[in-house]
Structure 1
Amino acid sequence: MTYSDTDSPAAPTPDPAAPQSLAQRGDNRSHRPTNQAFRDFIGSGWGPRPDALPARNDAAPWAAARRERLGVLFPGDRLVIPAGGLVTRNNDCDYRFRPHSAFAHLAGTGTDFEPDAALVLEPLGTAGADGSSATDRADDGTDTAAAAPTHEAVLYFRPRASRTSEEFYADTRYGELWVGQRPSLEEVEAATGIRCAHIDSLPDALAKDAGPDGVQLRVVAQADAAVTALVNRVRTAAGLAAGPEAQQVDDALAEATSELRLTKDPWEVDQLQRAVDATRAGFDDLIRSLPRATEHRRGERVLEGAFGARAREEGNGLGYETIAAAGNHANTLHWINNDGAVHPGELVLVDAGVEVDSLYTADVTRTIPVDGRFTAPQRRVYQAVLDAADAAFARAGMPGCRFRDVHTAAMEVIAARLEEWGMLPDGVTAADSLGPDGQFHRRWMVHGTSHHLGLDVHDCAQARREMSMDAQLRPGMVFTIEPGLYFRADDLLVPEELRGIGVRIEDDVVVDPDGGVRRLTQAIPRTADEVEAWVSGLIG
């Protein structure tokens, strides 16, 4: 990130005979004119920009409430939440930009908001704050509401430059002719309800009143190395702890922004339902592509591509890399190579989710018979996994259920089925295996049953254990239920007819305001009979 005047005069024309540094050589292919006559010409003759400001976006009031909840935890501190920068894919090509999830949650800006932006919560003093800190939050995750606002939000980014500037035509990172028209400060203020300022003013804003007897700075340090470095320079100049010495201060902010997402507001739940609905459409497209997949040497990629096209058409794209694992590949938990063939008679395990434009993602797994019918051994494994998923769902709906209890309920079923099939060690019962000195059933399901879901597919990852895994389920929590059984083809402890079969069933669920648990994925077929009818209905 740089903090410079983008409308400054052009640099002197370089001497073509002078030696070039490695950094300069990347521009050799551009052949951009540098004479003043061209600059005057390219900046002229453009029509007026639209006068109307955009309407306030739907996320704005919800994001404002989230900022208030965060601010009350850190009264008097300046909180810096960067959007992040572009990430190089190779040479001078960048990955598609996606803002850091904490920024997206608190700014409410959604898809492709400007790289290098930063949201700053400016302290308004301690009036109305209760003085609680990030470590003072209640065990149930609730926050004490402030009687009056504790912070003002300011959004710093680089607005579009004038058409007479060199940036307009020559800057491949920000130039309008390269990346499209970017918003103005006024447009973003209208859409978000947040006061906006030029990114070049960020250093002075961070330095204002900073010091041991003044304002403390906290930054989500992992979001943007350049912004974190700037914060540390300001801290050092102001006599505050910086770098590793400030890690505890910064970690408390990262923890708080993560825990803030443990419960979703109604707007977020609606976005997640939209992501699930788009994911259902993607699964339909994938199933329709099964016949072509069986004819292609890399049929798994045919399936992956069918889902991915729908994800881009209906949303921002994929929430994570799609798993399209046919046959024995389903027993590799994170199989994303997707370069294998798809054969009739096999199962294909598909773990995929659409990320909608608000950046919320679904996370759904279905295990699908390629030719529309389960064999008897496949159905036996499938039913065991379905029973485990149903048991976990039932446990989640019981009063006082803790997050970890959902996994326990699924494992009770998995262990019982493996005992019935004679797969546990001699003399070991399901009850024995469920004990801390057993866990033999986990050979065939080494992952957990649930994780929080939201802006990240594994959401709230920085939350404290007592706030997440050990916490009671609360209204607004959205999480997955995804048991599985994985019987590798080379596993000699598995009955021969089950080898090479891998099954996972994953649903997304929400705890409703009345404490009941509801499947967001209810409309996606999940029983064996439903899945067979689904496939047959789409491919005959």
Structure 2
Amino acid sequence: MTDASAQQNDDLAPEAAADSGAALSPQPLAERVENRSQKPTSDTFRAFMASQWAPASQELPGLDASALFAARRRAAVSAMFPGERIVVPAGRPKVRSNDTDYRFRAHSAFAHLTGLGVDHEPDAVLVLEPTDAGAGDAGTDHAATLYFRPLAGRDTEQFYSDPRAGEFWIGPRPTLAELAARTGLRTAGLEELENAVTKDVAATAVRLLREADQDMDAVVAAARADAGVDAQAAGAADAALAEALSELRLVKDEWEVERMRASVASTIAGFEDVVRALPRAVGHARGERVVEGAFFARAREEGNDLGYDTIAACGNNATVLHWIRNTGQVREGELILVDAGVEDDSLYTADITRTLPVSGTYSDVQRRVYQAVLDAADAAFALVKPGTRFREIHAEAMRVLAGRLHGWGLLPVSPEEALSEAGQHHRRWMPHGTSHHLGLDVHDCAQARRELYLDAVLEPGMVFTIEPGLYFKAEDLAIPEEYRGIGVRIEDDILVTEDGAENLSAALPRTPEDVEAWMARLQG
């Protein structure tokens, strides 16, 4: 628009402006998302909406089973950072599309320290306030308070007008008293949060779990700047907190192991659903999506959600390590690799992979590859016990696979040369690690230091995967044609015990013979 035409439009009379489509009172952009709601605004409506509701229950819930364990975890954090304020946000909703949010899931560190799973709200923040030595909760050096948005009364406009927090839109939320009764924590409304986090920042060091809540990041950064706190030193302190909270989850307590057992059980049921769905998947243009959907239904029926996006990869797609498009067909005679886990309502997840013959029977070459991967997994599992180093699990699996690849004539060098740091030829067909820790995150404890992860000595209570694989891409000219397009991974969830290890997912068939018999039984 030229300057002249703009001036002409500005000079239009109100009637002419209306006729031309120009708005008499421009609506702020932020308000336009509400155009679809046609929300009544009369005083009569407000008064009517606030009346004649049954009273809310005054009965308080009992203490959650997780509360005692969460308190122990907070005590461990308190011991690590005496005299410092610890701020751990749950996180904020993430917009999926315009005014539609993804289902909310709290940051794993927040869930770990509060014991809360899905029944709490976005924007909540846990604050551990330093006290005199031993004067805090249960003799610790901190007093913990959970700040969150409590239930809005039915006499408030928020009750029916707020699509993110109103009970009319999203259902009831706990009151401050209810959440305190469940968690054993002090509770306070969000209106008190900013002062609690920023007061005396110059005198009280604040450690913040960053990147969980952008608003909290900004509040703390501004308070530190106003108080003259060194930004680089504060950033290092925040990073050390993230590291410590990640390392705190390396060893699971009894409650965590119990919830992981529940996740595994639901995941095994999901794999049974997958097998039953395979005949329908074969006749579908997007058969992999049929498989994905069958597992997802189980995850939502028995848990909170998927622990991660399901991999349902048939044929050559199984050689794509993170194939989550799941748009391919499921064909008779091929293998389908399914990597999936149910996230429990506690937010703990399983992570299991099985590679199944679509037709119900492995071919000779498929069985050969499958058995090699199974043997590598079994050899790695045999090493697991307290005192073994985490990295030795991977090394043992690689030793087995390099030997098989050499025996099949696929390695251009000896197994010893391939396994050397200067070689690694076998990694062309097994490029990923054999194990990762598992828990609240599918790749749990990811911020832990190398010496406590890869170089760590195994301890009772550690939970991790063992998941070797072989991936022979259809376009790989370094191998005979009979191997091309075959991808196999076998993954189980392992608990380190006092005298060895337990395969938590052992109830899901693993040997080729057991898999075939299991599939035949489920498909009738």
Report the TM range for the smaller structure's normalisation: over 0.9
Structure 2: distance between partners of 1:228 and 1:377 = 55
User: 1:147: how far off?
Assistant: 9.6
Structure 2: distance between partners of 1:467 and 1:432 = 29
Same amino acid, percent of matched pairs: 58
Look up the SS of the partner of 1:337 in the other structure. Answer: coil
Which residue does the alignment assign to 1:534?
A: 518
Structure 2: distance between partners of 1:46 and 1:436 = 71
User: 1:232: how far off?
Assistant: 1.6
User: 1:112: how far off?
Assistant: 4.4
Structure 2: distance between partners of 1:54 and 1:539 = 44
Which residue does the alignment assign to 1:382?
A: 370
1:191 aligns with 2:182: yes
Structure 2: distance between partners of 1:471 and 1:125 = 34
- Normalising by structure 1, what TM-score? 0.91
Which residue does the alignment assign to 1:153?
A: 144
Which residue does the alignment assign to 1:414?
A: 401
Structure 1: distance between partners of 2:133 and 2:400 = 52
- Given that residues 135 and 142 in structure 2 are in contact (C-alpha distance below 8 angstroms), is that contact kept between their aligned partners in structure 1? no
Structure 1: distance between partners of 2:34 and 2:367 = 59
Structure 2: distance between partners of 1:231 and 1:495 = 59
Which residue does the alignment assign to 1:220?
A: 209
User: 1:245: how far off?
Assistant: 4.9
Which residue does the alignment assign to 1:237?
A: 226
Alignment of 1:338-377 (within 5 A): 338-377=326-365
Aligned partner (choices 53, 58, 77) of residue 46 of structure 1: 53
The change in CA–CA distance for 1:25 and 1:128 in structure 2 (over 3 A counts) is closer
Structure 2: distance between partners of 1:122 and 1:23 = 36
Aligned partner (choices 107, 112, 134) of residue 100 of structure 1: 107
- Normalising by structure 2, what TM-score? 0.94
- Given that residues 272 and 360 in structure 1 are in contact (C-alpha distance below 8 angstroms), is that contact kept between their aligned partners in structure 2? yes
Look up the SS of the partner of 2:80 in the other structure. Answer: coil
Structure 1: distance between partners of 2:340 and 2:252 = 21
Q: Which moved more, 1:253-262 or 1:107-116?
A: 107-116
Which residue does the alignment assign to 2:9?
A: none
User: 1:492: how far off?
Assistant: 1.1
Structure 1: distance between partners of 2:113 and 2:158 = 29
Structure 2: distance between partners of 1:59 and 1:72 = 20
Alignment of 1:17-416 (within 5 A): 17-127=24-134, 148-211=139-202, 214-242=203-231, 245-397=233-385, 400-416=387-403
Structure 2: distance between partners of 1:240 and 1:69 = 26
User: 1:153: how far off?
Assistant: 0.9
User: 1:469: how far off?
Assistant: 0.8
Q: 1:484 is matched by which residue type in structure 2? A: G
- Given that residues 133 and 140 in structure 2 are in contact (C-alpha distance below 8 angstroms), is that contact kept between their aligned partners in structure 1? no
User: 1:238: how far off?
Assistant: 3.0
- Given that residues 99 and 112 in structure 1 are in contact (C-alpha distance below 8 angstroms), is that contact kept between their aligned partners in structure 2? no
Q: Aligned Cα RMSD in Å? A: 1.4
Alignment of 1:501-516 (within 5 A): 501-512=486-497, 514-516=498-500
Unaligned runs of 5+ in 1: 1-15, 130-145
**Residue deviations 1:161-190 (CA, integer Å, cap 9, x gap):** 111211111111111111111110000000
User: 1:240: how far off?
Assistant: 2.2
User: 1:203: how far off?
Assistant: 1.2
Structure 1: distance between partners of 2:260 and 2:366 = 31
Look up the SS of the partner of 2:118 in the other structure. Answer: coil
Look up the SS of the partner of 2:458 in the other structure. Answer: coil
Q: 1:466 is matched by which residue type in structure 2? A: E
Structure 1: distance between partners of 2:73 and 2:280 = 47
Q: 1:526 is matched by which residue type in structure 2? A: R
Structure 2: distance between partners of 1:177 and 1:241 = 46
Structure 2: distance between partners of 1:324 and 1:538 = 19
Task: Give the greater-gyration-radius structure (CA).
Answer: 2
**Residue deviations 1:277-319 (CA, integer Å, cap 9, x gap):** 0000000001000100001011000000000000000000100
Structure 2: distance between partners of 1:81 and 1:207 = 14
Q: 2:400 is matched by which residue type in structure 1? A: V
- Given that residues 474 and 515 in structure 1 are in contact (C-alpha distance below 8 angstroms), is that contact kept between their aligned partners in structure 2? no
1:525 aligns with 2:509: yes
User: 1:522: how far off?
Assistant: 1.1
Which residue does the alignment assign to 1:142?
A: none
**Residue deviations 1:327-372 (CA, integer Å, cap 9, x gap):** 1110000000101111111110000000010000000000001111
- Given that residues 120 and 173 in structure 2 are in contact (C-alpha distance below 8 angstroms), is that contact kept between their aligned partners in structure 1? no
**Residue deviations 1:187-213 (CA, integer Å, cap 9, x gap):** 0000000000001101111233331xx
Q: 1:535 is matched by which residue type in structure 2? A: M
Structure 2: distance between partners of 1:320 and 1:230 = 31
Which structure is higher in helix share? 2
- Given that residues 203 and 234 in structure 1 are in contact (C-alpha distance below 8 angstroms), is that contact kept between their aligned partners in structure 2? no
